[in-house]
Amino acid sequence: MPPRQTLLNWCDQTLQPQLFKDGAPNGLQIEGNDQIRHIITAVTASQAAINHTITQGADTLLVHHGLFWRSEPTAIIGWKKQRIAALLAHNINLIGYHLPLDAHPTLGNNAQLAAKLNWQPENTFGEQNLLNIGTLPENQRTLAQLAQAIEQTLGRTPTIIGNPKQPLTRIAWCTGGAQWYFQAAIDANADVYLTGEISEAQYHLANETDTAFIAAGHHATERYGIQALGKALAQQFDVKVQFFDEHNPA
């Protein structure tokens, strides 16, 4: 059972949160047990994830999406009070890593998604180097083939903008809510850009630039980084780690 600070130090050394300008705090968000023996990993610190952590008797909830965001009101009321109260009542640590977990070259959401789909990463680019670009395998060289591979891997039908027969070679991607980076992907000469979400503007941009756009789900594209981080912690320390997933169509 490592002390909490020892585990946090390892995470900070591995993920390097000081290199990022983030809209959320990275690291410890709610202080719980000093010793860590059982971690539940989840995409988001939802009430369902917190309840599962309590049910499992775990002392730590490790997430990608924590409880505190720069754009949110600071008052601890309503649903936020309920979540925090449950964590405090059961002395559970809440640890979150946002952009550092997206960007890590092996454990990160972008790297893990590429590995799941057999893409060959080449470079990172764009804001804080959060975007990736690389080459698609031979069996994903049309938009229809790529869409089928994504659906089979993620278990979710993606939103596709483009001609299904459109030939593809180079893909740019950024997991989560990164639809606003589409222009950067176009400027990088990608044939297709994948992220988690789509807004109204991306439909027109895809049609007018002949660059395909794929929204594969915010939750669906970000399930793998937190699992990879949890497995790394289980190997590094004498801790039990389990992943909690919940259906989220967004």
* Binding residue numbers for a divalent metal cation: 64-65, 102, 218, 222
Separation between Cα atoms, residue 216 and residue 192, nearest integer Å: 13
Which residue bears the tokens 């949110």?
72
Count Cα atoms within 13 angstroms, Cβ side, for 26. 20
Upper half-sphere CA count for residue 2 (Cβ side, 13 Å): 18
- Residue 71 DSSP symbol: T
Partner residues linked to 121 by β-bridges: 134
Buried b or exposed e, range 31-59, using 16+ CB within 10 angstroms = ebbeebebbbbbbbbbeebbebbbeeebb
Side-by-side strand order, sheet with 93-96:
27-30, 93-96, 60-65, 38-44, 240-243
Task: List binding-site positions.
Answer: 64-65, 102, 218, 222
Closest CA to 95 of 128, 62, 124, 144: 62
**DSSP SS3 for 28:** strand
157 DSSP 8-state letter:
P
Look at phi and psi of residue 124 and say left if phi exceeds 0, alpha if psi is from -120 to 50, else beta.
Answer: beta
